[in-house]
Structure 1
Amino acid sequence: MRKRRAEWLITTLAVALPLAAATAPARAQVIPGEPEGAYVLMVILGNSAPTRTNTLLCDPDGGTHVTPVLTCDQLRDADGEVGSIPADPGPCTKVYDPVRVSVHGIWRGHSRHFTKVYGNQCEAIRSTGGSLFSF
């Protein structure tokens, strides 16, 4: 059931994201029955294809992400903008092992995108609040 829902979400986002960018002004509120947010999260090690991919749905909180409630709470506080989530303080090694993270989705009817390269996976996790890329 979860796999089927995740496949549906990925297919829906692949179709909806380009359309959302091309449509008239986006809705300011959530339509009853639709999730507040829907995201596809990717972690890419080196220059490979996505190494790990997860889905995240908010309100109701779920998807394939391991901590959807905490992660959706962080996104709510940041209005769905990954770059606005406060960093999670804590140590990371200085070992250079680059990782690229990518988020594509919709938050309250608005397209949201975030892609960034970090020095290692710990930096990616800490810099984005500690839970978003902890999978």
Structure 2
Amino acid sequence: MNKLAAGAATMGAAALVAMSPLPAQAQPMPVDPGIGGSAQGLVYLEVERGEGIKKSVLLVCPDGSGHDKGVDACAHLTGAQGDFTALEAADGMCTKEYDPVTFRAVAFWDGEIVAFEHRYGNYCTGVNATGGAVFDIGRP
């Protein structure tokens, strides 16, 4: 008899749960980093020399704050739609000295996370290859 009572109680509880209203589902909050403008971005830029010496900045677009050439860097990134591999190379002459550097970027650009890493033969070559302003943060 106890098994029958326990089964009835379980079925009664299941019926109550099934009849109760479902809790309201939480709606996802839109992400707004609050930086304004049509092309928005928060970009961490890093240059590392072979010995592990690093220099980095945090660039805020579209206003360019945090970077000495930030306005130009934001304009270049906007033109490339936040794609570091689509940056147009800048004209410029560099020495052929071999002093390898690695350029890295992690960005939150127009709602997307973007990452970039590339090694160049020297700092000047890397700066020119990435548009001339974006990674021009100073040689580490």
User: TM over 0.5, yes or no?
Assistant: yes
In 2: Cα distance, 1:111 partner to 1:58 partner: 14
Match of 2:41 in 1: 37
TM-score w.r.t. length of structure 2: 0.69
Matched, 1:60 2:82: no
Give 1:111 shift.
0.8
Give the 3 Å change call, closer, same or farther, for CA 56–94 of structure 1 in structure 2. Answer: same
**SS of alignment partner, residue 130 of structure 1:** coil
Ranges in structure 2 where 5+ consecutive residues have no aligned partner:
1-29
Ranges in structure 1 where 5+ consecutive residues have no aligned partner:
1-26
TM-score w.r.t. length of structure 1: 0.72
Give 1:32 shift.
7.9
Give 1:114 shift.
0.6
Q: CA RMSD in A?
A: 1.8
Match of 2:81 in 1: 79
Give the fraction of aligned pairs with identical amino acids, expressed as a percent.
33
Mapped contact 2:90–2:128 kept (Cα < 8 A) = yes
Match of 1:92 in 2: 94
Alignment of 1:96-111 (within 5 A): 96-111=98-113
Give 1:61 shift.
2.8
Runs of 4+ residues over 4 Å off in structure 1: none
